[in-house]
Structure formats: structure tokens, C-alpha cells
């Protein structure tokens, strides 16, 4: 059973998928850092919203105890800034994946479009030619 698992795990396709998942995870972190650290602050500055990641619509404000200053009831808010960040992150990842797949499809088309070498004479044609040469 262990040998079967080893054969399964060491197949090329499974290893390719594992490498792809690791790269995708790393790429996701890079795009998240780009969106959260560069893109969203610029968009927030353009629309004069400050940090767009922290943009929210407060439904009810937090209630604090005046004597201790502790929050007795946390605020309820709709965090639409995080939603916009996630949507932008998704669009960037989807666009990059689209470009990669499109490039791979173009490479496949070029490989398929390469003309096949002309077919040589069939076995019967070769035998007929040899026979004719031997008759001479």
C-alpha cells in the first residue's frame, strides 16, 4: 500500500499540481500586498476617502463605559473597503490567469499548426519501386 501511494504521489501530474498550488498561493499573497499596500491607498487618496481598506458604513456606534472607558458594545459596521479590496484582488488574479492560459493556448495552436513533414512513400510503393528496379 505504501508503494502504491509513493507511485501515486510521484506521478508528474500530481507534482505539477502541487507546484502550481504553491505558486498560486505565493502569487495571491503578492497581489494582496499590492492591492492593500499600493492600489487601495492611491484610490482612497484620489477619491479623498483616506485608506480605502478601512472604509466602512457604521450601522451603530460603539458604546463605551464612561467610568472605565471600556467598550461595552462594539460598533456594527459594513466594511465595504475590504470588499472592494477583495474584488480588485480577484480581478487582478483572474486577469493574470487569463493571460497565462491565453499564452499557453497560443503556444498549443502554434505546435498544432506546424505542418507535418510530408509523408514518405508507403511500404507498398517502396516494394513496387524495388521490384521495378530489380526487373531492370
pLDDT at 78: 93
pLDDT at 47: 80
Q: Is the pTM for the entire model greater than 0.85? A: no
Q: What domains, with CATH codes, occur in the chain?
A: 2-51+80-114 (1.10.1200.120)
With a cut of 90, say whether residue 56 has pLDDT above it.
no
Instruction: Render pLDDT for 5-35 as a digit per residue (tens, 0 to 9).
Output: 777 767 667 777 888 889 888 988 998 898 8
All cell numbers assigned to 92: 487582478
3-state secondary structure the chain: CHHHHHHHHCCHHHHHHHHHHHHHHHHHHHHHHHHHHHHHHHHHHHCCCCCHHHCCEEEECCEECCCCCCEEECCEEECHHHHHHHHHHHHHHHHHHHHHHHHHHHHHHHHHHCCCCCCCCCHHHHHHHHHHHHHC
Amino acid at each position: 500500500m505504501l508503494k502504491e501511494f509513493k507511485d501515486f504521489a510521484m506521478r508528474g501530474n500530481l507534482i505539477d499540481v502541487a507546484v502550481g498550488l504553491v505558486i498560486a498561493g505565493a502569487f495571491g499573497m503578492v497581489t494582496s500586498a499590492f492591492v492593500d499596500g499600493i492600489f487601495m491607498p492611491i484610490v482612497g487618496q484620489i477619491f479623498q476617502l483616506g485608506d480605502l481598506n478601512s472604509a466602512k458604513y457604521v450601522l451603530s456606534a460603539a458604546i463605551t463605559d464612561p467610568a472605565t472607558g471600556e467598550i461595552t458594545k462594539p460598533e456594527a459596521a459594513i466594511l465595504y473597503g475590504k470588499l472592494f479590496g477583495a474584488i480588485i484582488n480577484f480581478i487582478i488574479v483572474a486577469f493574470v490567469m487569463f493571460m497565462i492560459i491565453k499564452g499557453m493556448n497560443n503556444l498549443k495552436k502554434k505546435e498544432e499548426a506546424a505542418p507535418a513533414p510530408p509523408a514518405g512513400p508507403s511500404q507498398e510503393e517502396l516494394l513496387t519501386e524495388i521490384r521495378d528496379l530489380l526487373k531492370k
